Amino acid sequence: MTSDQIEARIDELLSAMTLEEKAGQMTQFFYFAEVDPESDVDVMGDLSSQPAMVERELAAGRVGSLLFCTQPSEINRLQRLTIEGNRHGIPALFGFDVIHGFRTIFPVPIATAASWDPDVAARGQAIAAKEARAVGIHWAFAPMVDVTCDPRWGRIIEGAGEDPCLGAAMAAAQVRGFQGDGIGSPDTLIAGPKHFAGYGFAVGGRDYDQSHISDEQLWNVVFPPFKAAVEAGAGNVMTAYMDLNGVPATGNVWLMQNVLRDTWGFEGFLVSDANAVRNLATHGLAKDLTDAGVRAVSAGVDLEMAVDDPAYAHLVDAVRSGVVSEEQIDTCVRRILRAKFQLGLFEEPYVDEQRAVEVLSDPTHREAARAAAVRTAVLLTNEPVDGQPLLPLSPEVKKVAVLGPLADAPRDTLGPWVFDFDLTETVTIAQGLRERGGDFGVEVEYAPGIRHGQRTFASMFDLWEGNAPVDPEGFDEEAEFARAVELAAGADVAVLVLGEWQNMIGEAASRSSLELPGRQLDLLDAVAATGTPVVVLLMNGRPLDVRPVMEKAPAILEVWYPGSQGGHAIAALVFGDESPAGRLPFTWPRSVGQIPMVYSHTISHEPENQWRRYWDVESTPLFAFGHGLSYSSFAYGDVNLSATSISVGESVTASVDVTNTGDRDADEVVQLYLHQRWGTASRPVRELKGFQRLFVPAGQTVTVEFPVGPEQLRYWNAAAHDWVIDPSLFDVGIGGDSTVELTVSFEVREG
């Protein structure tokens, strides 16, 4: 259908629909039929009758959308109930948290950001979209594009870290991956960047807490990834839970109308986060549930995501009492119906259940997940032992001890925010090392050493079967600890997998500490005391306090939660079939006390990192933003500028020769940083303004170029309350991480 035909059909429907039917289209319900009835988690209250309530509402034509349905036969059944439940045959929109894979699980989003390769993000989301659409899901509540510089915040794992440049590239790439050639093209989903906006600045890193963000930080740091997602054509945006500078995002007219729609021209539909409309009353913005609905509609929130008792059910009264106009309601309903027409749901509302089975079992999806996991790993340290780096393992290594419960934990290997996974096909690190080692006569033995099933608190997501950490029946930690140490003592190398259980991070999983949980450090100490060299693989989604680890392990490889094929990918990296080239997407603090800490800070005193800004710890991070080592080595030539003086509005090209000085082919992530010397605001000591991950054969040199123009030079100025380019001198550095020296400069003259 052409867009004119769609609008004409929508006009017909709106003129025929009752107010109740319109309010129904604006209502999206969870469908909690897949919650584990045995779960001891009561964070969501008694959900046992929730599915029946939803089915009643569907049959009464009072539902426009559903979420948390993943089985094609169920989706088809509920879709039929929806279509037959309303007079106009309007189908339901099925949305879901397709965050980093659907059945084939890719590395967690923070890991994909660590690849510094937007193609990894795009490819992963394209496969996730194909799998999810095959089962009948139409829309992903992703990409999550919240910038954050607070690792205490559990949802750091869902985004792309602290930087707006990297974040914007990852956001746009994911939208392209989800939506392919455009909304409605085959095997694609509507992309729904979230959570608009400022959620990652929750005070104390406490999930859901308020955010106080200056206009300067909003426009220069928080907004760019959302703007990039909108410019990439995202068909949906999800609102945030928290209040931004005192006004709850979900009722925030300035955010949703002035910024999103009027400034950026967003034309898609807006959905609230779960119960975030009714929570406007909890916030104390709205007087009651009816007022909450009115405030959200006035902010332009088209669809209310709710567990039950939706606020939008009260819109009928609100229109009749004149508090909100039917035109406002029609505007919301129009955007929702437009998405359904664009997706072709009126013509083809059901899915082919046999085809779904074929799509979900496509082996090329598994290979893509393995390749992605290889590209996300970050080599943090690789100190030489007897003159040789421990990684990749030497061919002389014939016996490897793989230790720690996370080494053989399928559920943790997938990370949080996954639901339709297949644990039986998940390749753990121990399994991957054992298979790869076996191919080359290397004996690989595993021992957990310590308990895994420690649950300080249950996570909301333990509601779904298989999420809670468990230990094997009759686990005898003392005996297991001794067995692990014995294995280490008899091995050439001990590979110890340390990190956080996957339910310790994600939503409602912030932490007040960055310490390794459980007895992991005790295990490390005992293993290191055997004298066997130790390689540590980190399985986590936030920077952890690894200072004690660095004292005992010469080599640390950040492997994140690497997904369904993680074991194969990590084995290839550990044995050297692949070379790590990932880079940190955040500043890695030494301790939780340093938070928040970003590389792109301003400066008031020279030198930048005065020794004692804290009395008790250095003011520098443990690892810098953009840090990551390689199995090879790279040398950078001098930075060349195509001009040393331009006027405002013009561009200069910065270029550099990068040489692979090592003996093996490898990727390098070349990063461009800028610093504005003076102007009408204090500007960061450096900001990432461009990056390229590229393959450089051993001994070869490549020339890398970056444009530096208005897009890179402008910034939102709090005094001018607008975007400006200051005439100034700009320092430029190009290197392998954010500590690069800014060695050349160019002038920007008055226009």
Provide the binding-site residues for ligand GLC, judged by CB under 6 A: 97, 141, 194, 273-274, 507
In the bound complex, what is the minimum distance in angstroms from residue 25's beta carbon to ligand GLC?
19
Closer to ligand GLC by Cβ: residue 141 or 599: 141
- Structural tokens at position 343: 């997706």
User: 95-125 burial string, b = 16+ CB within 10 Å, else e?
Assistant: bbbbbbbbbbbbbbbbbbbbbbbbebbbbbb
In the bound complex, what is the minimum distance in angstroms from residue 589's beta carbon to ligand GLC?
25
Query: Which residue, 399, 397, 567, 402, is CA-closest to 484?
Result: 402
In the bound complex, what is the minimum distance in angstroms from residue 463's beta carbon to ligand GLC?
11
Encoded amino acid at 731, one letter: D
In the bound complex, what is the minimum distance in angstroms from residue 634's beta carbon to ligand GLC?
38
Closer to ligand GLC by Cβ: residue 11 or 465: 465
Query: Which residue, 289, 370, 336, 317, is CA-closest to 104?
Result: 370
Question: How do 493-499 and 534-539 pair as beta strands?
Answer: parallel
Within a 10 A sphere around the Cβ of 304, how many other Cβ atoms?
30
The answer to whether 595 and 150 have CB atoms below 8 angstroms apart is: yes
In the bound complex, what is the minimum distance in angstroms from residue 204's beta carbon to ligand GLC?
18
CB neighbour class for 262 (10 Å; exposed up to 12, middle 13-18, buried from 19): exposed
The answer to whether 734 and 639 have CB atoms below 8 angstroms apart is: yes
Closer to ligand GLC by Cβ: residue 135 or 732: 135
Closer to ligand GLC by Cβ: residue 97 or 150: 97
Question: How do 744-749 and 236-238 pair as beta strands?
Answer: unpaired
CA dihedral 495→501→507→513, nearest 10 degrees, is -80
CA distance 660 to 411: 38
Catalytic residue among 163, 207, 273, 420: 273
The answer to whether 196 and 621 have CB atoms below 8 angstroms apart is: no
In the bound complex, what is the minimum distance in angstroms from residue 201's beta carbon to ligand GLC?
15
Q: Is 273 a catalytic residue?
A: yes
DSSP codes of every residue in 489-521: HTSSEEEEEEE--GGGSSTT---S--SPPTTHH
Query: Which residue, 172, 160, 166, is CA-closest to 125?
Result: 172
Closer to ligand GLC by Cβ: residue 408 or 507: 507
Query: What H or E segment, with its residue span, contains residue 89?
Result: none
In the bound complex, what is the minimum distance in angstroms from residue 196's beta carbon to ligand GLC?
11
Q: Determine if residue 447 is left, alpha or beta; phi over 0 gives left, psi from -120 to 50 gives alpha, anything else beta.
A: beta
Closer to ligand GLC by Cβ: residue 116 or 141: 141
83 φ, ψ (degrees, to nearest 5): -65, -40
Closer to ligand GLC by Cβ: residue 208 or 475: 208
In the bound complex, what is the minimum distance in angstroms from residue 268's beta carbon to ligand GLC?
16
Closer to ligand GLC by Cβ: residue 82 or 236: 236
As a whole number of Å, the end-to-end CA separation of the chain is 47
Catalytic positions are 273
